[in-house]
Amino acid sequence: MKNIYKFSIVLLSVFTFIGCNVDDDDQEMVLPQKSITASLDDQNEIIFISDFATSYDLVVNISDELPSYSSIEYSLDGGDAIISSGNTGDSSIIISIDFDPTDAVHEVDLMDFIVVNSQARRFMPSLEGNKTVKIMRESTFLATMTWDSGADLDLDLDVMTPFWGWAGITLDASAGSGNSETVSSVLVDGNYSLWIWTNGSTNQAYTFTVTTVQGTETFTGTVDGNSWNLWFTKSGTNYTFFEEDPS
């Protein structure tokens, strides 16, 4: 009789344990997956700032308050990865860009959006929208020359006299490798021109993509020998372009 009593107690303990396990399983919660995105507040490909600015705060908006310490990884002017961070509860992350007096333009490329413990919290962080932006001073002139051949072309941005002769000043020069050269500078009112060095190449077709506060324009042509190939006048925020020597 005593053994039967002991056996009954054991059975009761087993069923009680199983019952507790079932209750625990019922209470276990699996967090749903949730997307959290980061995107530039200003979706324009070019942002113009004052000619006198010493810095610019590029705002990256977060779709939800940050669940934990997070960071935006980006490159500046094609350099190594840099990190700007935000803390729990933040709704944005600031990328601060310094502008020295001689800086005309900076390019920022967003590379990654990282949320600490995102897997455990079942968050899926991602970048959304435009990921590349140029930040330019209002008086900046930016020109990129591209071509399809294997020629070694170089590019200069020159100051011209009121009568369209060379003033003896080159503001920027680009002599890299590949099929693209870029020059830029903050300009005062006056006359300017783009000079192409052909380095012995002949009959080379090229494309200029020019960006100012007026917008972006494209010019095409063929160069045979070292020469100026696009002339322009700046007057305030207005630019007038000439594809033939205006002199």
* Residue 91 and residue 38 share a domain: yes
Whether 158 and 116 map to the same domain: the answer is: no
Based on the domain organization, do 133 and 227 belong to the same domain?
no
Q: 146 and 132 in one domain?
A: no
Average pLDDT, the chain: 90
Distance separating alpha carbons of residues 86 and 118, to the nearest angstrom: 14
pLDDT of residue 27: 55
> What's the pLDDT at 21?
52
Number of domains in the chain: 2
Instruction: Say yes or no to pLDDT of 30 above 90.
Output: no
Instruction: Write down the residue that tokens 């020359």 correspond to.
Output: 145
Q: What span, in angstroms and rounded, lies between the C-alpha atoms of 140 and 215?
A: 11
Q: Is the CA virtual torsion 216, 221, 225, 231 positive or negative?
A: negative
Q: What integer is the mean pLDDT of 96-116?
A: 96
Is 102 within a domain? yes
Higher pLDDT, 148 or 33: 148
Which whole number is the average pLDDT over 214-225?
96
Greatest pairwise CA separation for the chain in angstroms:
123
Do 193 and 238 reside in the same domain of the chain? yes
**Model confidence at 77: pLDDT above 50:** yes
Rounded to the nearest 5°, which phi and psi values hold at 20? -65, -40
The verdict on 87 and 174 lying in the same domain is no
Lowest mean pLDDT among 118-127, 165-174, 213-222: 118-127
Place of tokens 């021109």: 193
Residues 234 and 147 occupy one common structural domain: yes
pLDDT given for residue 28 in this prediction: 57
Report d(CA 73, CA 156) in Å as an integer: 33
Q: Which pLDDT band holds residue 32 (cuts at 50, 70, 90)?
A: confident
Q: What is the CA radius of gyration of the chain?
A: 31
pLDDT for position 119: 83
Range of the domain at 204: 140-242
Task: Using the 3D structure, point to which of 74, 103, 137 is the last residue of a domain.
Answer: 137
pTM of full prediction above 0.85? no
Do 51 and 120 lie in one domain? The reply is yes
Question: Following CA atoms 147, 149, 151, 155 in sequence, which dihedral angle do they give, to the nearest 10 degrees?
Answer: 0
pLDDT over 70 at 79, yes or no = yes
CATH of the domain at 85: 2.60.40.2030
**Is residue 20 one of the residues assigned to a domain?**
no
Q: Please give the share of the chain, as a percent, with pLDDT higher than 70.
A: 87
- pLDDT at 120 (0 to 100): 75
Q: Is residue 6 part of a domain?
A: no
Picking from 85, 115, 137, the residue at the C-terminal end of a domain is: 137
Of 137, 152, 184, which residue constitutes the final position of a domain? Answer: 137
What mean pLDDT do residues 166-191 have?
97
Q: Say whether both 162 and 118 belong to one domain.
A: no
Whether 208 is covered by a domain: the verdict is yes
Does residue 236 form part of some domain?
yes
CA gap 92, 149 in Å, rounded: 45
